[in-house]
Each structure stands twice: as C-alpha cells, then as structure tokens.
Amino acid sequence: MPRGRTLLLIAVLAWAAVAAWNALKPLPPGTHVTSLATRLAESQVQIVAAATGSEIEARELAAIDRASELIVLDAAPLSRAVGRGLLLQRAKRPNIKILLVSDPRSEAYGGTPAEYLESLERAGVIVARVRLDRLRDCIPLYSGLWRLTVGWWSDPFDEPGLRAALRARNLKGDQRRLLVADDGAGGWVSLVSAAAEGDLAVQISGDLARDIAASELKIAAWSSGDDRLPAAPRAAVRGPGSIDARFLTEGAIRGALLDALDTAAAGDEVGLAAPRLSDRRVIDALLRAAARGAHVRVLLDPAAVPNGPVAAELERGGGSHIELRWRVRPALATASLAWVARRGELWASAGAADFTRPSLDDIDLESAIELRLPERAAAARALETHFAAKWAAAAAYDRYAVESQADYWQYRFMQAAALAAY
C-alpha cells in the first residue's frame, strides 16, 4: 500500500478510535445520580412558580443570607446579584465554606465573566470550573477530530476567537442550576431550577441536600482537585411525611421518566412541558401511554429544533389521546416538567434537563427533582396549576404545525448519526 494511503488509513482509524472512546467512556464520579428516596412532610416541599423572573433568584439570595456553615451552588452564568450575595456572606462569616461549580465557557458562549469568578476566588470562595473534556462527547465525529487537532492547543478560558469558537462547537456543558445551603439553625435547604430567571423551581428542606451536595462535591473534586473542598452534609434521621423525593441527574432522569410513563394507562393524566423534545425512548413511551388510553398533553416551544417534526409524529401516532400546544415566546427560561396523575397520586419531575439526547444520554450535566406525592398536597396542586396556566396561554397545534416528511427524516438521521445536539 502506498505510504500516503497508509498514513490516511492510520489517521482515519485514530479519528474513529478517539470518537468512539469519548462517546462511550466511563462516566466521571458525581454523574448519573439516582438518590435514595427521602420522605418529606408537605411543609418541606415548596413549588416556586415564577411570574416575573425574580422569585427564584430571591429564594437563592435568601438561602445564601441564612447560611452559616456551607453553601454549594452550581450555576452558569452567575448573576451579579448572586455573586455579590456570596461575597457579602463570606465577609460576614469568614469560616463559612462556599463552593461554586461553574461551566468554564467564556461569557461570549454563556459562561460567567472571568472577573466575577476571580473576585470570588480572592474572597476565599472555592470555584470549580467543570472539566468538560471529562464528559462524553455530543457529536463524536466533530469532537474526535477536534481532540486530535485543535484540542491540544485550546483552553476552556480562551478569549472569543477561532479557538474558542471551535471548542464551543463541541456543544456540551454544565446545565445544572441548583443551590444547597444550611439554614443557620441546623437544617438544610435545596433549590433546583432551570435558571435564576426561570419559570419554575423546587425548594426542599431536609435531608435531600446531602445527596445533591455529594454529587456536586465529586464533580468539583475531579474538576479542580482543590484540597479545601468540604464534606457533604451529614445524613439526618428519616422523618414522617407523605412525599417521597429523589435527586436525579443526567441519564437517571430519563430512567425515572420512562418508569413513570410506563405506568400510565386509561384514566390517567400525563403532562409534559419542555423547551425541546427529541429523545426517542421518551417519545415512544408517550405514544405507548396514549395507546393504553392515558390522556397526554405536550407543551413545546415552536422555535426549537426538532420540536416541529416531533410534534407531528405525536399528533399522527397519538390519535385523540395526545394533545399538543405551542408555548409562544416564553419570557422566562423554561424549566422542564413532566407529571403523571393516577389514582390520587402525582409523580412529577422538574428541573433544567430538556428531553433530548444531550440532556438524557449522560452528555451534559443536568439535574432534576422527582416527587411522588398525594394529589391533595399543596405542592401537587401548585405543579398542576403551573402546567394548567401555561397550557391555557399556549397556541393551538395547527398554528405552528410542521408536517414535512423531509424535516422528520432529517431529524431522525441527524439524531441517529449523532450529528446534532438533540
């Protein structure tokens, strides 16, 4: 074989090997978490259904202000108000441990301005910039070539330019938005949302904080190696209550969602609202639930790809059992919400993860809270009311319907070949 062809073959094999390894490599610690169920009283679970975009950030600031021992925050971009709150609390309580886990992307690509992070570090806050290269690749063919060429000379903190743009094309990141803090009185509070200016968050008082903080501390350990990292909160005694809560991340979110959808049958109600829906296993589970007679309502963003062809598939396959509507111009960042109501009980999952391959296939860092609770509980009524309000304000399916077979098969091919971030 001529030398040129031999070198080309070696290069192609190296490209394929790097692409395959980084698509399938073992997950780092702190990811794909399914916590044990924590039993909670109704008073320990609050649903923050935001209308103006300031409610969730106000909850974060209040939790930061009460803390005296530990604050764990995963957020990108970090708002100026929250950053200032961390600095003030560090000044008031010099012995408090504060950990910020942050996506390392530059401000131009959705990250936190470098000067914010540097000011926090100077004040003694532990800042762990997530090593995104430890995560699996979303588009293996591109990322494999990038790793073999540009990746050697690219840095997560590159200023906007060609190298930063090529790194950003890897299309993966830390999408978690959560806060854990002690309440200053021996207890713990956790807040999980999609964004500080989002439309929905779940706030929990109690022992679930330990599992959330433990996951974040493991990610911080392999991202920063900082020996100042604190220990996770101590486990508390399981108390009485009527609500079971679990902390779920990455692929574990899909597993719990599929388990819930597989129980839905005639007489049950299913609701799903998300920025994007493209995961094939979730779509198939929705169609199966409808075939068993469950009433399924799906609320999507008409501008997000590939919601158009996915909605058309659900419309064709669900018959009268699936209703679709479009969320028109959401003013706030949209949290993903899925719920199943059956026999007086509500199962719900809420958080930052949308229902796409990067979110549910262990690629991006994602988080959600799963709740099992009586439908009469205040938190259950708040979730159902939140969904009902969004549903009532949404546009009918026909307004943005996309019936193109070309668009549908393009979506199926791009997803199956891992050539798109959905």
Confidence (pTM)? 0.95
Per-residue pLDDT, 39: 95
With residues binned 3-state (H G I as helix, E B as strand, rest as coil), the percentages for the chain, rounded to 5, are 40, 20, 35
For residue 216, give the nearest of 107, 110, 98, 329 by alpha carbon.
Answer: 98
Low-confidence ranges of the chain (pLDDT < 50): none
DSSP letters along 86-111, please?
Answer: HHHHHHH-TT-EEEEEE----GGGT-
User: Do the bridges between strand 295-300 and strand 269-273 make them parallel or antiparallel, or are there none, so unpaired?
Assistant: parallel
- For the segment 76-97, what is each residue's pLDDT rounded down to a tens digit? 889 899 999 999 999 999 999 9
Query: For position 330, what pLDDT does the model report?
Result: 63
d(CA 3, CA 266): 66
What is the spatial distance between Cα 47 and Cα 202, in angstroms, rounded to a whole number? 5
Q: Which residues contact 153 (CB under 8 A, 6 or more apart)?
A: 163
Position 4 scores a pLDDT of 81
pLDDT in tens, 296-327: 999 999 999 999 999 999 999 998 999 999 99
Q: What is the pLDDT of residue 36?
A: 94
